[in-house]
Amino acid sequence: MNRLKTISFVGAGALASGLAQLLHAQGFTIAEIIARTTQPSKLRATKLARKVSASATTLPSAQLNCDLLWLAVPDASIVEVSNQLAKRSNIPPIVLHASGALSSDAISSLAARGVHTGSAHPMMTFVPGEPPSLRGAWFALEGAPQAIRAARAIAKALEARCFTIQPASKILYHAFGTMLSPMLATELQAAERIGLQAGITPRDVRRIMEPIVLRTVRNVLRNGAGNSFSGPLARGDVNTVAAHLNAISETEESLVYRALMQYATEVMPVKNSDQMKKLLRPSGTRAKKR
C-alpha cells in the first residue's frame, strides 16, 4: 500500500486524536477531521485539525478526498455514519472503523457500494494528558483483503504489530481488552482507596503501589498468572483473608476484593480452597456507599 498517503477521520475523540497525531508525525497527510454538527464536537474537531494540519468539517460538508477514511466514533454511531456515507457520490476507496467490539459487517452499506471495508482496532489505551504511542502495540484486523493490507501498512508505519481476528470473535477480543486496561485501572483504584483507608497519604500511596504493580505485571507476562500468584490465598491463610473481609466490610472495595478472591479460588493455586470458598460465600449484606 505504498500509495496510501492521505487519511481522514470521522470523530475527534481520544482515539481519533491519538491516531491522527501519530500518523501526522509519520508523514501521512491528514485531510479532514469530520465531526458531528453539535458545537462541542465541532470545537474538538477544530482543535485536533490544527494539530495535524487538517480541515475541520462535518459529515454533510466533508470533501472525502482521501485514500482511506477511518471511523473513530462510538460503536452505537458506526452504522448510522456508514449509512450516511453510503449515500454520497464520492466515497474513499477504503473505509475502516476502529471499534474493538464490532466487525466490518457494521459498515456493510459501504461494502455494498464497492468500498473495501474493514475494522482496525489498536489494543492500547488513549487518555488525556498522556502522549499517544503505538510502538509495540497490536492491531486486531478483519475485513476485505485490501482494507487489511492498508491497515497493516499503517501499523507498520506506527511501529505496531497486527493480527487478524474472526468477525465473530470481536466481542470476546474486546472483553479481553477491557479487562487488560479499564478493569485493571478499576482494581487499582479499589486498592488505592484501601491504602488511603489504612492511613497512607495521597502523596505516598501511588508511589508505594508502583514497584509491586509493575513487578507483578512483569511476572505474569513472563511466567503466567499461576506462577506469579502469592499472598494469603496462595498460602491458605484463611484467618488473614477473614480479617481483610472484616476490615473492609462496610466499603464498596469489599465487593471488588470478594469477587477477585472468589475467582482466584476457582482458577488459581489456592491452598485450603474449600475453607476459602466457604469464607468468601456471599453473606447477603450490601456494601455502604460513600
Report the alpha-carbon distance of residue 41 to residue 211 in Å, rounded.
40
pTM above 0.85, yes or no: yes
Q: What is the pLDDT of residue 129?
A: 76
Contact 241, 261 (CB under 8 A): yes
Q: What is the pLDDT of residue 240?
A: 96
The 3-state secondary structure of 71-121, one letter per residue? ECCCHHHHHHHHHHHHCCCCCCCEEEECCCCCCHHHHHHHHCCCCEEEEEE
Low pLDDT (below 50) residues in the chain: 1, 284-290
The 3-state secondary structure of 170-193, one letter per residue? HHHHHHHHHHHCHHHHHHHHHHHH
Q: What is the pLDDT of residue 238?
A: 96
Contact 66, 6 (CB under 8 A): yes
Instruction: Kindly give, in sequence order, each residue whose CB lies less than 8 Å from that of residue 101, ignoring residues fewer than 6 positions away.
Output: 75, 170, 171, 174
